[in-house]
Amino acid sequence: MRRAPLPVRDGLNPSRIRLPDEGPPTVLEYLLDRFAGDADRVREKVEAGEVVDGDGGVINPATPFAGQQWVFMYRDPAPEPRVPFEIEILHRDDDLLVVDKPHFLATMPRGLHVVESALVRLRRQLDLPDLSPIHRLDRVTAGVLIFSLRPANRGAYQTMFAQRKVTKYYEAVAPYRPDVSMPATVESRIVKYRGTPTAQQVPGEPNAFTRIELLAVHRHADHDRGLYGLHPATGKVHQLRLHMNSLGLPIVGDNFYPTLLDTDRQDYSDPLQLLAKSIEFDDPITGEHRRFTSRRRLAGWASAVTTAAASSS
C-alpha cells in the first residue's frame, strides 16, 4: 500500500483517493463532484494547498486530471457521540502499548466510527501520531488490544499475528445446556461477503478453529448461564460468535447471531458478553515471553452470580 505523503493530523490519517481512468479536466472538479455534499470545504482545502498527489506535490485548482493518480487530503470527520467508556492502559514500553478496550469502542476508524475509535483516542490522548494497532477487536468486544509505537518494528509484530504465533484466550457468557458436551472443538469454513454485516459458515475446507471449555455454571429459574473459555487457533471475522452459536450457545448480548437485530448504536445497555482475556507470545524483537491480561469482568456473569446467590438465600 502506498505510504501517505501527509502526516497524521489530530490523530487522523489523511484520506487516500485513487482517481478512476477517466474524469473531468481537473482534479478539483473530480473532487467537487465526488464529495458534492462537502464541496465548499474541498475547495477551501485545495486553495489552501492541503491536497497533495502521491509524491506530495500540491494539487491546485488547475491541476489536470490523470487517471489512476493517488490523491491525499484530510477529511473533516462528522460529529460523533462519545462512547461513554474509558480505555485502560495495561502496559507501555518503547515498542508496545497494551490497553484494555471497552465494549462499543472501535479499534480503528471505520464507517460511522472515526474519532470514536481506540486508535484516534489514544493518538490524541498520548500524543502518539505513529501509533498503530497490530491486531483488531470487534467494536462490541472488550479486552486486551495491542498497539505498535515504532513503525520500524511494526511489521515484525504483525507478522507474528499473521503466522499464528500468538496465544489468544477469550471468555464469554452464554446459555448453559447440559446436552452440549464440553470441552468442544469447533472447526468450520467462515466467509464474509462485502456489503453484508454478518459472516457465514459455508461448506468447504475449514479455515476457522476454536476450542471451547465450560468454566462454571449458574442455574436460575428463568435461565441457566455458563462461563466459557474460548481458545481460537485462527482469527476469522466473528469466529467466536459463530462457533458458539453453532453449538446452540449464542453469546449473551449478541445482536448478530443467531438473528441480526436492528440495535441503536448508542444503546449501551446490553454489551456483547465476550472478553479478550489474555494474549501471550514470544516477543519477535526482544525474545522475551510476554503475557497481558484484561482486568475487566463480564457484567453478564457478575449479574448471573448475583441472581443465583439471591435466589439461594
What 3-state class would DSSP assign to 196?
A: coil
What's the confidence (pLDDT) of residue 309? 46
Q: Cell 467537487 identifies what position? A: 32
CA–CA dist 27, 179 (Å, integer): 63
Could you tell me the CA-to-CA distances from 272 to 12, 46, 303 in Å, in that order?
Answer: 28, 43, 14
Contact 133, 147 (CB under 8 A): yes
Q: Which residues contact 31 (CB under 8 A, 6 or more apart)?
A: 17, 42, 46, 51, 71, 73
Kindly tell me the sign of the dihedral angle through the C-alpha atoms of 145, 134, 256, 86.
positive
Name the segment(s) of the chain with CATH classification 3.10.290: 15-73
Domain formed by 88-312, architecture: 2-Layer Sandwich (3.30)
Residues of the chain below pLDDT 50: 308-313
What separation in angstroms does the CA of 55 have from each of 7, 26, 38, 49, 74?
Answer: 13, 18, 25, 14, 16
Amino acid at 288: E
Structure confidence at residue 56 (pLDDT): 94
Identify the pLDDT of residue 112: 84
Predicted local confidence at residue 308, as pLDDT: 47
The residues of the chain that CATH labels 3.30.2350.10 are 88-312
**Cβ distance 226 to 214 under 8 Å?**
yes
The pLDDT score that the predictor gives to residue 305 is 59
Q: Which CATH architecture has domain 15-73?
A: Roll (3.10)
Predicted confidence (pLDDT) per residue in 50-92, tens digit: 999 999 999 999 999 999 999 999 989 889 999 999 999 999 9
pLDDT given at position 313:
42
Phi then psi for residue 218, to 5 deg, are -125, 125
